[in-house]
């Protein structure tokens, strides 16, 4: 693999203590297997001596980009990928968790036809260092499970990534928010053939973790954004139905306090705001006033239809077992579908 051109991208924030041994390990890989290897460090103005460390080392194959105005792991990774000029790119953490010795195997996987490769803790041969608390383990498992609708990769949370530069250049609608840029790239680059290379994942020895509660909240939002991207109709209808159920609760509560017509209006208004925000998120830039009037009109027709269906069942209760229940349920289902279809087609157009 001496002729392949490879760029290693290291996003860093306050990693000055971990960098020397990692650079040595990468230098070893360059010496042994990948002669045409470059390193791009994308640092977010760490102010911990990273800049002087790199300039003292003065290695012609190492380049440091310092971003002064911007911060964030995913955008740092994207910046590195944009700056790379090689055929292959590898992204890895700078805290020593990812072994540089796995890089040649990852490049081999790409040469052999993989769209994307990840250094993986969760395939045969992969391990995690002892000492992970139950909480962190659980956290990682839940996060991986949440990524299942997008990929079957076992370690989809890995930050040790490899791809051809042309795969990255083919990415559509990249939205590098949050921490899990690997998942974002797998989805937005349309990668089907993802190969996992087993690694021994070491717990960070030096420096501080940047994995905070905010990061986890951002991940949840990321998953929702990706779901909207890959399964827009499913997300839209499912959310609409869920809001409908919450609206029923609001309606029952309002009925206890106000007259029927006011209760209906309160429930419809409740549904409108949540549906506009979550079920029809893509149409939020249009006039809220026009949408509100339209929504109320459509739902009123739905409510009247609902009323007649239920009444019909009740009037025919002698012929149909459990007519009240069956009538109410089928009217609700028909109502939800009716309201959804017409709101989507007429009021919340893309
Ligand atoms: N450029 C840049 N790099 C970041 C930023 N946040 C994290 N990083 C780097 O991204 C890599 C992963 O961050 P970590 O803090 O190790 O996150 P983690 O691996 O999930 O958690 P720990 O290993 O427990 O610390 C490290 O190399 C960090 O220095 C950031 O805002 N900007
Ligand atoms: Mg780490």
The closest-lying atom of ligand 1 relative to the alpha carbon of residue 76 is 1
In the chain the beta strands, taken as DSSP E runs, fall at: 5-12, 36-43, 62-66, 88-91, 116-120, 127-128, 161-164, 194-198, 200-201
The CA distance from 63 to 70, in Å, is: 18
Residue closest to 225 by CA, chosen among 170, 273, 174: 174
Ligand 2 centroid to residue 238 C-alpha, Å: 36
Q: What dihedral do alpha carbons 169, 173, 174, 178 form, nearest 10°?
A: -170
Which 3 state secondary structure label does DSSP give 7?
A: strand
Is the distance from the beta carbon of residue 15 to the nearest atom of ligand 1 less than 6 Å?
yes
Which residue, judged by its Cα, is nearest atom 11 of ligand 1? Answer: 93
Residue closest to 344 by CA, chosen among 281, 301, 288: 281
Ligand 2 centroid to residue 205 C-alpha, Å: 9
Which residue, judged by its Cα, is nearest atom 31 of ligand 1? Answer: 72
Neighbouring residues of 103: CB distance < 8 A, sequence distance ≥ 6: 6, 8, 26, 29, 33, 34, 90, 92, 162
Q: What ranges in 156-259 are assigned the alpha helix state H?
A: 165-169, 181-188, 213-230, 232-257
pLDDT given for residue 174 in this prediction: 92
Is the distance from the beta carbon of residue 76 to the nearest atom of ligand 1 less than 6 Å?
yes
Is the distance from the beta carbon of residue 211 to the nearest atom of ligand 1 less than 6 Å?
yes
Domain spanning 5-230: CATH superfamily: Spore Coat Polysaccharide Biosynthesis Protein SpsA; Chain A (3.90.550.10)
How many Å separate Cα 60 from the centre of its chain? Answer: 36
Is the distance from the beta carbon of residue 44 to the nearest atom of ligand 1 less than 6 Å?
yes
Q: Which DSSP state fits 189?
A: T
pLDDT given for residue 191 in this prediction: 94
- pTM for the whole structure: 0.84
The closest-lying atom of ligand 1 relative to the alpha carbon of residue 209 is 25
Which residue, judged by its Cα, is nearest atom 7 of ligand 1? Answer: 73
- The sign of the torsion formed by the CA atoms of 167, 168, 169, 171 equals positive
Is the distance from the beta carbon of residue 95 to the nearest atom of ligand 1 less than 6 Å?
yes
Ligand 2 centroid to residue 206 C-alpha, Å: 10
Ligand 1 centroid to residue 22 C-alpha, Å: 14
The CA distance from 36 to 34, in Å, is: 6
Alpha carbon distances (Å) from 272 to 2, 262, 284: 61, 15, 12
Residue pLDDT, tens place only, 203-252: 887 877 766 788 888 899 999 999 999 999 999 999 999 999 999 999 99
The CA distance from 124 to 146, in Å, is: 22
Ligand 1 centroid to residue 208 C-alpha, Å: 9
Which residue, judged by its Cα, is nearest atom 28 of ligand 1? Answer: 12
Ligand 1 centroid to residue 189 C-alpha, Å: 23
- The sign of the torsion formed by the CA atoms of 126, 129, 132, 134 equals positive
Is the distance from the beta carbon of residue 72 to the nearest atom of ligand 1 less than 6 Å?
yes
Low-confidence ranges of the chain (pLDDT < 70): 131-132, 210-211
The CA distance from 333 to 306, in Å, is: 9
In 97-215 the beta strands, taken as DSSP E runs, fall at: 116-120, 127-128, 161-164, 194-198, 200-201
pLDDT given for residue 313 in this prediction: 79
Mutate to test the pocket of ligand 1, among 44, 54, 64, 73 (most ligand atoms within 8 A of CB): 73
Ligand 2 centroid to residue 204 C-alpha, Å: 6
pLDDT given for residue 211 in this prediction: 65
Ligand 2 centroid to residue 93 C-alpha, Å: 6
Domain limits of the chain?
5-230, 232-347
Residue closest to 271 by CA, chosen among 307, 230, 299, 304: 299
Is the distance from the beta carbon of residue 94 to the nearest atom of ligand 1 less than 6 Å?
yes
Alpha carbon distances (Å) from 43 to 10, 19, 209, 341: 8, 12, 15, 49
pLDDT given for residue 151 in this prediction: 93
């Amino acid at each position: 693999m001496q002729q392949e051109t490879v760029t290693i991208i290291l996003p860093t924030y306050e990693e000055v203590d971990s960098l020397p041994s990692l650079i040595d390990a990468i230098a070893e890989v360059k010496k042994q297997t990948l002669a045409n290897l470059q390193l791009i460090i994308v640092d977010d103005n760490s102010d911990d001596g990273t800049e002087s460390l790199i300039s003292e080392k003065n290695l012609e194959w190492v380049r440091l980009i310092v971003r002064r105005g911007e911060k964030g792991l995913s955008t740092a990774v994207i910046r590195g990928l944009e700056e790379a000029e090689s055929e292959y790119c590898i992204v890895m953490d700078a805290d020593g968790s990812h072994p540089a010795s796995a890089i040649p195997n990852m490049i081999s996987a790409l040469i052999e036809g993989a769209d994307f490769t990840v250094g993986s803790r969760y395939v045969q041969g992969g391990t995690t260092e002892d000492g992970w608390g139950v909480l962190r383990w659980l956290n990682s498992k839940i996060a991986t499970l949440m990524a299942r609708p997008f990929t079957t990769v076992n370690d989809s949370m890995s930050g040790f990534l490899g791809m051809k530069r042309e795969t990255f250049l083919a990415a559509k609608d990249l939205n590098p928010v949050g921490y899990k840029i690997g998942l974002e790239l797998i989805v937005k680059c349309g990668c089907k053939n993802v190969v996992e290379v087993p690694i021994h994942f070491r717990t960070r020895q030096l420096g501080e973790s940047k994995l905070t509660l905010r990061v986890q909240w951002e991940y949840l939002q990321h998953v929702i954004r990706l779901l909207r991207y890959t399964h827009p109709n499913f997300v839209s209808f499912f959310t609409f139905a869920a809001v409908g159920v919450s609206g029923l609760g609001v309606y029952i509560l309002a009925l206890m306090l106000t007259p029927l017509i006011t209760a209906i209006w309160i429930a419809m208004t409740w549904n409108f705001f949540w549906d506009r925000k979550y079920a029809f998120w893509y149409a939020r830039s249009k006039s809220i006033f026009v949408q509100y009037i339209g929504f109320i009109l459509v739902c009123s027709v739905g409510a009247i239809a609902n009323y007649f269906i239920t009444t019909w069942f009740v009037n025919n209760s002698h012929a149909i077992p459990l007519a009240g229940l069956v009538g109410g349920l089928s009217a609700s289902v028909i109502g939800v579908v009716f309201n959804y279809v017409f709101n989507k087609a007429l009021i919340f157009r893309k």
